[in-house]
């Protein structure tokens, strides 16, 4: 295993009731890389993403076998603090979902839950997170306004700032741009490129051009299996597997 592996899954299987949604998936996510997961709807890419911070635990009748290691520790080991895991492995969802609170409170919420009460420290975290999410200049004068008044693209960047505020190591993004217009999408894509200097990003996307633009490594999933995983350039220029080739050239079905 490469030394800079931050998350690895080994022979991971997941069932929703009888449905075998992930079948023997093994993958290694490298630190400070952007990894994209692509594949048709229902192939298991979001399910895999949600395994990395145990979000699937919240769904009934889910059974998981295999192993997932984050920072060399098994995340399913007894005694794992799931709240801490989700702090270290944050998540940004498909649809921007800010809390019905002010811009400031949205970002300060996480640090408060994790015990930061000092106002000055909270101010510092809010500004730093909003700056990292490339949103500060647009909202610095409206920190007390409702977050619901922001545009869709701004709301999504606010959600990224909210994730950054608790100091994660990995950011999981599940179709973060699918509800956004092209300009807002470009802003998020630029942001992903900047974020990888400090964080590891794993992104699920339907948009193959986006996967090709933003990621360093890419994995193609089909019917619960990880068909091919490699450097993005190789996957999009000359994939090894015919299935991958057929999918990315639109010859599917």
Pick the binder of another protein from 70, 199, 229, 236 (CB under 8 A). 236
Minimum distance between the CB of residue 35 and another protein, rounded to whole angstroms?
18
Q: Which CB sits closer to another protein, 115 or 253?
A: 253
Spatial distance between the Cα atoms of 115 and 111, rounded to a whole number of angstroms: 6
The torsion of the CA quartet 70, 169, 228, 17, rounded to 10 degrees, works out to 60
Q: Which CB sits closer to another protein, 110 or 219?
A: 219
Of the candidates 233, 75, 87, 84, the one whose C-alpha atom is nearest the C-alpha of residue 170 is: 87
- Interaction between residue 36 and another protein (CB under 8 A): no
- Interaction between residue 227 and another protein (CB under 8 A): no
Q: Which CB sits closer to another protein, 2 or 253?
A: 253
Using DSSP bridges, classify how beta strands 34-38 and 73-74 pair: parallel, antiparallel or unpaired.
unpaired
- Interaction between residue 250 and another protein (CB under 8 A): yes
Total number of residues binding another protein (CB under 8 A)? 13
Q: Which stretch binds another protein (CB under 8 A): 143-151, 158-166, 169-177, 245-253?
A: 245-253
Strand boundaries in 71-168, DSSP class E: 73-74, 89-92
The contact pattern for another protein, residues 179-218, with x = CB under 8 A and - = no contact, is: -----------------------------xx--x------
Q: Tokens 């997932």 appear where?
A: 68
Q: Which CB sits closer to another protein, 129 or 244?
A: 244
Spatial distance between the Cα atoms of 208 and 109, rounded to a whole number of angstroms: 34
- Interaction between residue 100 and another protein (CB under 8 A): no
Residue length, the chain? 253
Within 8 A by CB and 6+ apart from 250, the residues are: none
């Amino acid at each position: 295993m490469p030394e800079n592996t931050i998350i690895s899954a080994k022979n991971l299987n997941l069932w929703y009731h009888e449905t075998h949604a992930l079948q023997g998936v093994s993958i290694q996510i490298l630190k400070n890389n952007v990894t994209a997961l692509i594949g048709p709807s229902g192939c298991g890419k979001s399910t895999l993403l949600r395994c990395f911070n145990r979000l699937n635990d919240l769904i009934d009748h889910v059974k998981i076998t295999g192993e997932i290691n984050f920072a060399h520790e098994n995340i399913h080991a007894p005694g794992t603090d799931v709240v801490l895991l989700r702090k270290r492995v944050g998540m940004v969802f498909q649809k921007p979902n800010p809390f019905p609170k002010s811009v400031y409170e949205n970002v300060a919420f996480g640090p408060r839950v994790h015990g930061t009460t000092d106002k000055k420290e909270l101010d510092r975290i809010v500004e730093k997170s909003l700056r990292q999410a490339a949103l500060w200049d647009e909202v610095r004068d409206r920190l007390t306004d409702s977050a619901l008044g922001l545009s869709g693209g701004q709301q999504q960047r606010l959600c990224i700032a909210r994730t950054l505020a608790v100091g994660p190591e990995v950011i999981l993004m599940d179709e973060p741009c699918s509800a956004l217009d092209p300009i807002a999408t470009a802003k998020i894509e630029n942001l992903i490129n900047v974020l990888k200097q400090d964080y590891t990003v794993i992104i699920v996307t339907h948009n193959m051009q986006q996967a090709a633009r933003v990621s360093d490594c890419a994995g193609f999933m089909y019917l619960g299996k990880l068909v091919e995983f490699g450097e993005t350039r190789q996957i999009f220029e000359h994939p090894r597997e015919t299935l991958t080739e057929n999918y990315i050239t639109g010859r599917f079905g």
